[in-house]
Structure 1
Amino acid sequence: MTDLTRALLSAAADLLAAHGFRRLRMSDVATRAGVSRQTVYNEFGNKERIVQAVAQYKTEEFLDGVRERLAGTPDRLGAVRAAVEFVFDMASRDPLTNSVLSGTHAEDMLPLVTTRGHPVLTAGTAVFLEHVRLHWPSLPAEQAELIAETVVRIIISHLLTPRHDGVHAVVTVTTALLT
């Protein structure tokens, strides 16, 4: 990813968090990134594409952190806990994620993790599936896939409807599925 693309995605993410999809303007993205409006159009084509790119960019940002925690924690269930803690912490600190999940300013972005959330679910499942296959190699492929997808669905559910200890809930369910 080029520095220009990163700057445009960052600018668009900030503006989406503050104003949502309906009030996002390509000229505002350009101004915030310090480029011409035409540069934004040349890079992304239209508003829908830049929003899709922001969603992918933010998803990858989350998943990079998840991968780091899964790989960097020696205990296989401890790694799941560390990864889930990271997701919840980042979601609480990231303005766009917070806005999307709470419906503040970006309520029109909620479908990116609900009705149009398949790309997020698929990418997250792939990351957790890699961890499950590595640490529980004797599991049948279908069971490993079900566990990975269930973990991601529970994480998303707790992000959308927080409870007092979502991390504990996710780790408890993961443990139950693996035993």
Structure 2
Amino acid sequence: MSADQAHPDFGDDTSTRRRILSATTEVLARSGQSKLSLSEVAMQAGVSRPTLYRWFASKEELLQAFGVYEREMFDSGISKATAGLRGNEKLDAALQFIVSYQQSYSGVRVIDIEPEVVIAQLDRVIPVMRTRLERLLQGPNRTVKAATAIRVAISHYIVRSDDDDQFLAQLRHAVGIKAPAGD
């Protein structure tokens, strides 16, 4: 049961829920999942602990809702970045979004704090990301292209390197498109 289904009586106060989920991002980046403190999340969100518990009865429920929240944020960003575009322009906008989304993580990342947790989650994340990217591709090799691009993206997330400036070019190469003129 999702947090929304478990708490239907809390009305439309999605701003409080979003503040809590956004604060969870910050706390996870500092502490990791295993040391996540609901008190720290409440303080970061500017809400009382009872308010946090009205929305999320447990750490597990908060983490489950956070996973959904992150996917929704990513999907919303991709949708906005690709709105009104077609073909390779849409694909390129999606790749640009992936790069900017990953590079927007500043400072400490969960992978730096709890690599085993992130690596375990990749089992679920990689197929979802690959399927979403594959929908934007055409041709007989689209499955391989999508898988390759996602592996490149995951590699850039897991291992910091000196080639961040080539990240977008690497993704474009993986899916077989050229940079737009002027790039």
**TM tier relative to shorter chain:** 0.7 to 0.9
Say whether the 8 Å CA contact 2:145–2:174 is kept in structure 1.
no
Q: Structure 1: which 5+ residue stretches go unaligned?
A: none
Alignment counterpart, residue 126 of structure 1, candidates 128, 131, 134: 131
Match of 1:58 in 2: 70
Displacement over 4 Å in runs of 4+: none
CA shift for structure 1 position 174: 0.8
The CA RMSD measured in Å over matched residues stands at 2.8
Say whether the 8 Å CA contact 1:14–1:95 is kept in structure 2.
no
Structure 2 CA distance for aligned equivalents of residues 63 and 85 of structure 1: 14
Match of 1:69 in 2: 81
The aligned length equals 162
Structure 2 CA distance for aligned equivalents of residues 34 and 94 of structure 1: 22
* Percent identity of paired positions between Structure 1 and Structure 2: 27
Say whether the 8 Å CA contact 2:90–2:136 is kept in structure 1.
no
Match of 1:94 in 2: 105
Q: Provide, for residues 63-96 of structure 1, a one-character-per-residue CA deviation record: whole Å limited to 9, x for no partner.
A: 322233334444x334333322222222222348
Structure 1 CA distance for aligned equivalents of residues 83 and 147 of structure 2: 19
Say whether the 8 Å CA contact 1:111–1:117 is kept in structure 2.
no
Counterpart secondary structure, 2:119? coil
Match of 1:44 in 2: 56
**TM-score under structure 1 normalisation?**
0.72
Larger helix share, 1 or 2: 1
Q: Provide, for residues 119-166 of structure 1, a one-character-per-residue CA deviation record: whole Å limited to 9, x for no partner.
A: 32233223212212xxx2xx45xx544433332222112222343411
Structure 1 CA distance for aligned equivalents of residues 167 and 103 of structure 2: 13
**TM-score under structure 2 normalisation?**
0.71
Match of 1:175 in 2: 176
Structure 2 CA distance for aligned equivalents of residues 128 and 99 of structure 1: 24
Q: Structure 2: which 5+ residue stretches go unaligned?
A: 5-13, 178-183
CA 1:68–1:125 in 2, change beyond 3 Å: closer, same or farther? farther
Matched AA of 1:158: H
Alignment counterpart, residue 155 of structure 2, candidates 151, 154, 157: 157
